[in-house]
């Protein structure tokens, strides 16, 4: 278009008139999104008689740029203009906040799900540890762990020194508020979570606008910030925390974290004095809501690295209050005994940095796939290390990261913004990689990723972008808009199915007779948390007496052969070992291996390891019930893939095979 304009200028003997030159420059900046509006302005200028020769030439060029058919071009330009206006509206933050919550209104009717039942147990005061320790699951005290093992809250293979304690007191206070105001109204509890989601989107949109207003992006900065905000508002990764009361902490931590970055940006950009104390305060609130709040520091660092225009000294001084807050949080975290230790599912980045580094690459790759593609990272976490599936996931992740790096490294505009978002997103992977990959942990990662897409949109709209860039933007927009909403509903449905299956399984134990005061023996539970611990806690939540003890013999994910040796003893052979999947290792670190001859003795159960698999996991376990297998207090159950059903140990010398059952998340 520029070449044609120059040629037309030479024919008319000089430069176009000033009006024509300004309009042409505007059209060059806005590109196809404003072609129709530009033509209208030219027509008006020609009609008024100003700059006749140059304007006539420019009008011809602009009209030729509207490709046939004319009607399609008209509709396309009109739609683009309206979309830009909508994305630039002052009310967009509030509109997107309401939209995000409205899209997930089905979450209101999800009831309690999974860990929500365990937390209700404490919030109702049924646990002597109190509600403030809601996220302190295991504190590493062997005596306490032994007592929980005797009661059946943890399985016999658990590491007695296991520690899984989270510092999330601010989130606990919001849940205590729920139980103070509406303890039995789960709809209002979920509405409370949706309110936090709406607040998060409002803050995120405001921060996007702040960032894209920097760097001289001109008229496109606002709508591209709006585009990033829209993508973040409908991100499917937000669905589970909105429906899962136990995961509200991620919403709260991210809201305060992004608010801290926004306050810091205003402080550094406008000299906004309240930012001096609001930034560290909001960071403290984010960290007290959940460990994911540590990602706030990644974006503060990214801001001073890419967007701050001050001297190096002034940037470091500006960060010092936030750095002090982060250091105090780290000290409290360590001295207070928070973190994870002895679990095969969670790793403490601070307490076990080498273990975390070993898992970081694979988990970060899985999380990256979950963020940028329709494939959930949750599914990838089920792939055992060393298998062809895990190798394929690693290769796919590396290819994706390489492709993204090449795509965004070639941006010529919004490079500073893209650098800020990229550093924040990449560094945010480290704290969430402490757990097995799950999309519900991607709040901070998603904020940076959607910002990068916004930066890509700036380049595609303002220059002759490559076909690869245009195609990539199109694919990313489809993935994060067209596919995001239905995927969010898929996640809600899967979570709801898992929750209902857990509840049905727990209730099925009571279907034949009342287990109160009895010994419940579960031969093959799908997992040792939601399919075991839920039984006594859910009964007590409902005011019913709990069983005397609950015993899980092994994980149901492995085909097992059970042979009755004598009237007190079973011999259980596990085809895939005691730990057939990643989640089965929650209670025991692989580094704490069993040895042949190891015995675990409880008051009514003795487990002895007779043989190990090639990977060192127990394969053959000898089960002894001192009172006898057929004692009147025993209630035996096997899981049939949906619920528990009554079971009787085979006669002495008889062997039975029990097929593996899927996880409740399958």
**580-599: pLDDT as tens digits:** 988 899 999 988 999 999 99
**225-263: pLDDT as tens digits:** 999 999 999 999 999 998 899 999 999 999 999 999 999
Joined tokens for residue 560 = 């097992």
Whether residue 18 has pLDDT greater than 50: no
**406-416: pLDDT as tens digits:** 999 988 888 99
d(CA 271, CA 532): 56
pLDDT band at residue 385 under the 50/70/90 scheme = low
d(CA 179, CA 186): 10
**112-155: pLDDT as tens digits:** 999 999 999 999 988 877 777 889 999 999 999 999 999 888 99
Residue 523 DSSP class: S
The distance of Cα 333 from the centroid of its chain, to the nearest Å, equals 22
Whether residue 28 has pLDDT greater than 50: no
Centre a 10 Å sphere on the Cβ of residue 64 and count the other Cβ atoms it contains: 10
pLDDT band at residue 34 under the 50/70/90 scheme = very low
pLDDT of the residue at 386: 61
Judge contact between 423 and 457, C-beta under 8 A.
no
Residues contacting 404, CB < 8 A, separation 6+: 372
Long-range contacts at 159-163 (CB < 8 A, ≥ 24 apart): 159/342, 159/343, 159/587, 159/588, 159/589, 159/592, 161/341, 161/342, 162/138, 162/341, 162/342, 162/343, 162/587, 162/588, 162/589, 163/138, 163/139, 163/337, 163/339, 163/340, 163/341, 163/342
**482-498: pLDDT as tens digits:** 999 999 999 999 999 99
Residues contacting 272, CB < 8 A, separation 6+: 263, 266
Joined tokens for residue 3 = 């070449």
Judge contact between 237 and 440, C-beta under 8 A.
yes
d(CA 296, CA 466): 34
pLDDT band at residue 36 under the 50/70/90 scheme = very low
Residues contacting 591, CB < 8 A, separation 6+: none
Strand arrangement, sheet containing 618-624: 599-602, 605-612, 618-624, 569-574, 560-566, 655-658
Whether residue 655 has pLDDT greater than 70: yes
Confidence (pTM): 0.86
Centre a 10 Å sphere on the Cβ of residue 567 and count the other Cβ atoms it contains: 13
Torsion of CA 177, 182, 185, 189, to 10 degrees: -20
Peptide bond into 611 cis (omega under 30): no
The distance of Cα 277 from the centroid of its chain, to the nearest Å, equals 29
Mean pLDDT of 84-110: 95
Could you write out the DSSP letters of every residue in 452-502?
HHHHHHHHHHHS---HHHHHHHHHHHIIIIITHHHHHHHHHHHHHHHHHHH
């Amino acid at each position: 278009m520029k070449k044609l304009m120059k040629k037309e200028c030479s024919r008319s003997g000089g430069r176009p008139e000033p009006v024509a030159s300004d309009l042409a420059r505007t059209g060059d900046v806005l590109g196809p999104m404003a072609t129709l509006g530009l033509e209208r302005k030219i027509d008006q200028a020609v009609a008024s008689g100003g700059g006749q020769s140059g304007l006539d030439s420019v009008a011809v060029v602009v009209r030729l740029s509207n490709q046939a058919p004319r009607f399609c071009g008209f509709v396309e330009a009109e739609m683009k203009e309206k979309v830009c206006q909508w994305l630039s509206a002052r009310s967009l933050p509030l509109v997107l906040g309401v939209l995000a919550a409205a899209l997930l209104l089905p979450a209101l009717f999800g009831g309690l799900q999974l860990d929500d039942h365990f937390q209700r147990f404490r919030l109702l005061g049924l646990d002597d540890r109190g509600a403030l320790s809601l996220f302190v699951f295991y504190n590493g005290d062997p005596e306490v762990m032994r007592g929980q093992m005797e009661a059946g809250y943890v399985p016999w293979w658990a590491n007695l020194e296991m520690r899984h304690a989270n510092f999330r007191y601010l989130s606990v206070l919001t849940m205590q508020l729920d139980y103070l105001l509406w303890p039995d109204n789960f709809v209002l509890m979920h509405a409370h979570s949706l309110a936090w989601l709406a607040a998060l989107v409002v803050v995120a949109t405001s921060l996007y606008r702040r960032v894209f207003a920097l760097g001289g992006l001109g008229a496109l900065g606002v709508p591209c910030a709006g585009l990033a905000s829209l993508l973040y508002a409908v991100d499917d990764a937000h669905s589970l925390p909105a429906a899962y009361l136990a995961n509200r902490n991620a919403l709260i931590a991210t809201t305060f974290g992004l608010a801290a970055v926004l306050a810091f940006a205003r402080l550094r950009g406008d000299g906004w004095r309240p930012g001096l104390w609001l930034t560290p305060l909001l960071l403290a609130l984010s960290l007290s809501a959940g460990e994911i709040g540590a990602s706030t520091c990644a974006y503060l660092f990214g801001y001073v690295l890419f967007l701050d225009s001050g001297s190096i000294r002034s940037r470091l001084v500006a960060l010092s209050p936030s750095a002090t807050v982060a250091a105090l949080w780290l000290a409290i975290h360590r001295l207070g005994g928070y973190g994870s230790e002895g679990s095969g599912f969670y790793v403490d980045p601070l307490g076990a940095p080498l273990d975390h580094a070993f898992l970081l690459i694979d988990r970060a790759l899985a999380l990256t796939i979950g963020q940028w593609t329709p494939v959930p990272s949750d599914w990838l976490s089920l792939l055992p290390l060393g298998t062809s599936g895990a190798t394929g996931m690693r290769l796919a992740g590396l290819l994706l990261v390489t492709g993204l790096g090449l795509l965004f490294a070639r941006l010529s505009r919004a490079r500073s913004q893209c650098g800020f978002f990229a550093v924040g997103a990449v560094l945010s992977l480290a704290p969430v990689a402490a757990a097995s990959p799950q999309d519900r942990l991607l709040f901070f990662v998603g904020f940076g990723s959607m910002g990068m897409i916004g930066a890509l949109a700036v380049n595609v709209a303002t220059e002759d972008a490559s076909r690869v860039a245009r195609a990539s933007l199109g694919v990313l927009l489809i993935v994060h808009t067209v596919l995001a909403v239905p995927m969010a509903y898929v996640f809600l449905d899967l979570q709801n199915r898992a929750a209902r299956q857990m509840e049905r399984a727990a209730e099925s134990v009571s279907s034949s007779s009342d287990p109160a005061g009895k010994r419940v023996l579960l031969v093959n539970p799908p997992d040792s948390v939601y399919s075991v611990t839920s039984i006594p806690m859910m009964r007590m939540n409902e005011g019913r007496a709990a069983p005397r003890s609950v015993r899980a013999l092994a994980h149901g994910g492995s085909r097992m052969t059970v042979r009755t040796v004598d009237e007190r003893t079973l011999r259980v052979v596990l085809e895939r070992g005691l730990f057939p999947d990643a989640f089965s290792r929650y209670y025991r670190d692989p580094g704490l291996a069993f040895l042949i001859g190891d015995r675990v003795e409880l008051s009514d159960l003795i487990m002895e390891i007779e043989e190990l698999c090639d990977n060192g996991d127990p394969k053959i376990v000898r089960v002894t019930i001192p009172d006898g297998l057929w004692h009147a207090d025993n209630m035996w159950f096997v899981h049939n893939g949906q619920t528990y059903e009554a079971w009787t140990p085979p006669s002495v010398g008889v062997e039975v095979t029990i097929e593996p059952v899927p996880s409740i998340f399958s």
